[in-house]
Amino acid sequence: MNALRIVGLVVAVVGVAAAVCPHWFGPLTGGPAPAADLFEAVERRVRGGMVLGVGLVLVAVTALRPWSVSVPSAIFYFITGALAARVLGIVLDGTSAKQWLWVSVEAVVLALIAAWLWRASAPGA
């Protein structure tokens, strides 16, 4: 395992911890004060999920070329981290219509990227 993957694992673990306990990571997730509303409480978890996504990118994307695979893969893993933290926030903090809108937008983007990657990895592509 190379150093970049080890750094990615450490960053991913920090991202999971920040998504689960955002009050421990005040400067990263938006301050130690309690969230003003439900939407902000979930968004604090999403910031930790974005750190998780960066860690996933560092672990999963091992080569930058071809760009048609590495860039969509990086975006896919970044959004996956944010989406996982958003769903965790909805489960733990409560639901909001605006959060479900973001879940649907992120899920559609992930589906489009997955279709792109599936097409790019097809034999003869």
pLDDT digits (tens, 9 = 90+) for 88-111: 999 999 999 999 999 999 999 999
Q: Binning pLDDT at 50, 70 and 90, where does residue 8 land? A: very high
Whether the predicted pLDDT of 26 surpasses 90: no
pLDDT at 125: 57
pLDDT digits (tens, 9 = 90+) for 33-58: 777 899 999 999 999 999 999 999 99
Whether the predicted pLDDT of 66 surpasses 60: yes
Smallest CA-to-CA distance from 86 within 120, 39, 122 is with 39
Phi, psi at 123, each rounded to 5°:
-60, 135
pLDDT at 123: 80
* Per-residue tokens: 100: 């479900």
